[in-house]
Amino acid sequence: MSKITFLGAGSTIFAKNVLGDCMLTPALQGFEIALFDIDAERLKDSENMLNNLKQTLGSTCVVKAYSDRKEALRGAAYVVNAIQVGGYDPCTITDFEIPKKYGLRQTIADTIGIGGIFRNLRTIPVMLDFAKDIQEVCPDALFLNYTNPMAVLTNVMNTYGGVKTVGLCHSVQVCVPHIFEHLGMDHSGVQWKIAGINHMAWLLEVKKDGVDLYPEIKQRAREKQKEKHDDMVRFEMMLRFGYYITESSEHNAEYHPYFIKRNYPELVDRFNIPLDEYPRRCVNQIERWKTMREEIVSNKNLTHKRTLEYASYIFEAMETNNPFKIGGNVMNTGLITNLPKEACVEVPCLVDSSGVNPTYVGDLPPQCAALNRTNINTQLLTIEAAMTGKKEHIYHAALLDPHTAAELSIDDTVALCDELIEAHGNWLPSFK
């Protein structure tokens, strides 16, 4: 019996999407679906939900929950990672509230920036523990990372964990449908190419019947910018730098030095930037789960339709050798020639029985590569901090972050990092 292991299975809705997809995939019938989570109650919820789903869908997959992580991993062909270390309370609250004292405001704080740096620092040790177990009990498994910060964690698992890892983000497959629907255009039959880094990959080409659609997209976007809408940052970046970015405007507002500025508070309103969006989202999800729990966990008639999540399509391609194209996060082995080789990049990948095969992109447009490098700088210094245990590299990562550097002095940046290290306490390893 082949095995798919899901780490962080207490993420019940996401587990339903990914594992429900697997239950609907003919090539994956008979697989064991192994669930692991450190929250026993949420683990049981997901187990009950998936067993109900199995019955409704008529799947022959076997659902099994484990209290021992290593046993959950033993013999796995595929591992899906969806953990969040520290959760909303206390760690997300810490990531937002302490920077506010210094005048540094954030929207999502899960990729780079101060929030992204500290989310990485508390997650990397846990991921490397996963890697040790995988090397021992399922060394040939493919590790699918869905956890943010995507680029750094995928990089660490490949570079230091010795685990075959691909990072998967929802933003690639919805990028073209989103902008076309937003602009009132039909995206059927559209061909597109996306490459860059996670959350800042670029829609490099968008054509239909050989015709470049960017001129029409930009014309409509200029008109759209005359009114308030929820994608103003990305439209502004496209109109200024030439290409549309995969990840949402609330994310991208904090990846650049241009939008969230104390000395220009009107920019937040002008570009409709939702400050503190992620904490609000967390609170709403916690409240919503109280009512959703019974509807999902104990619903004997629960059903599912296959989603756009890449996981089941990757497994299917590897099991059947029928190729499937994804946008994957992989190490830059000469794939994007004007980004650092140490970086994790997001590029088109072909999946078949040989695994995930990244494709060559070449040079990005120079302005796009330059913007990517500003974020890669912080990513690589965060990895340096995590792997050396040196506090000075935490400072370096923060000082090189575009948003932080645009707002804070060197002294305030260092003081903020020190306060966050102290506030996180045992959620972080010790730094010297």
| 99-140 pLDDT tens trace | 999 999 999 999 999 999 999 999 999 999 999 999 999 999
Does residue 432 belong to any structural domain of this protein? no
d(CA 154, CA 379) in angstroms, rounded, equals 11
Q: Is 170 a catalytic residue?
A: yes
Q: Please give the pLDDT value at position 294.
A: 85
Q: Is the pLDDT of residue 1 over 90?
A: no
In 3D space, the residue among 123, 117, 120, 114 whose CA is nearest the CA of residue 96 turns out to be: 114
CB 88 within 8 A of CB 15: no
Classify burial at 1, counting beta carbons within 10 Å of its beta carbon; exposed 0-12, middle 13-18, buried 19 or more: exposed
Split at pLDDT 50, 70, 90, the class of 35 is very high
Does residue 206 belong to any structural domain of this protein? yes
Strand partners for 195: 202
Does residue 378 belong to any structural domain of this protein? no
Q: What is the pLDDT of residues 235-252, one digit of tens each?
A: 999 999 999 999 999 999
d(CA 77, CA 147) in angstroms, rounded, equals 19
Does residue 176 belong to any structural domain of this protein? yes
In 3D space, the residue among 10, 67, 60, 68 whose CA is nearest the CA of residue 33 turns out to be: 60
**In the numeric block, which tokens belong to residue 116?**
């992204």
**In the numeric block, which tokens belong to residue 24?**
């609907």
Q: Please give the pLDDT value at position 430.
A: 97
Q: Any idea how long the chain is?
A: 432
Task: Say how many domains are in the chain.
Answer: 1
Q: What is the pLDDT of residues 408-430, one digit of tens each?
A: 999 999 999 999 999 999 999 99
Would the pTM count as exceeding 0.85?
A: yes
CB 277 within 8 A of CB 108: yes
**In the numeric block, which tokens belong to residue 241?**
């730098």
The CA dihedral of 7, 12, 13, 17, to the nearest 10 degrees, is: 50
Range of the domain at 219: 171-269
SS3 120: helix
Question: Apex CA 196: angle with CA 351 and CA 153, to 5°?
Answer: 75
DSSP E strand stretches across 96-159: 142-145
Q: Please give the pLDDT value at position 254.
A: 98
Averaged pLDDT, 48-59: 97
Phi-psi region of 189 (alpha: psi -120 to 50; beta: other; left: phi over 0): left
DSSP E strand stretches across 43-134: 62-66, 78-81
d(CA 370, CA 257) in angstroms, rounded, equals 13
Kindly give the pairing relationship between strand 165-167 and strand 191-197.
Answer: unpaired
Q: What is the DSSP string of 348-405?
A: EEEEETTEEEE---BPPPHHHHHHHHHHHHHHHHHHHHHHH--HHHHHHHHHH-HHHH
Mean pLDDT in the chain?
Answer: 97
CB 243 within 8 A of CB 203: yes
Q: What is the pLDDT of residues 149-203, one digit of tens each?
A: 999 999 999 999 999 999 999 999 999 999 999 999 999 999 999 999 999 999 9
**In the numeric block, which tokens belong to residue 195?**
């490459």
Percent of the chain with pLDDT over 90: 99
CB 267 within 8 A of CB 227: no
Averaged pLDDT, 66-95: 98
Averaged pLDDT, 7-29: 97
Selecting among 170, 178, 182, 304, the annotated active-site residue is 170
Q: Please give the pLDDT value at position 61.
A: 98
CA 266, chain centre distance (Å): 30
d(CA 360, CA 337) in angstroms, rounded, equals 9
Q: What is the pLDDT of residues 275-317, one digit of tens each?
A: 999 999 999 999 999 889 988 998 999 999 999 999 999 999 9
Q: Please give the pLDDT value at position 23.
A: 98
**Sign of the alpha-carbon dihedral angle for 385, 420, 94, 103:** negative
Q: Please give the pLDDT value at position 313.
A: 98
Distances from the Cα of 98 to the Cαs of 258, 419, 421, in angstroms? 22, 8, 11
Q: Please give the pLDDT value at position 186.
A: 97
Classify burial at 64, counting beta carbons within 10 Å of its beta carbon; exposed 0-12, middle 13-18, buried 19 or more: middle
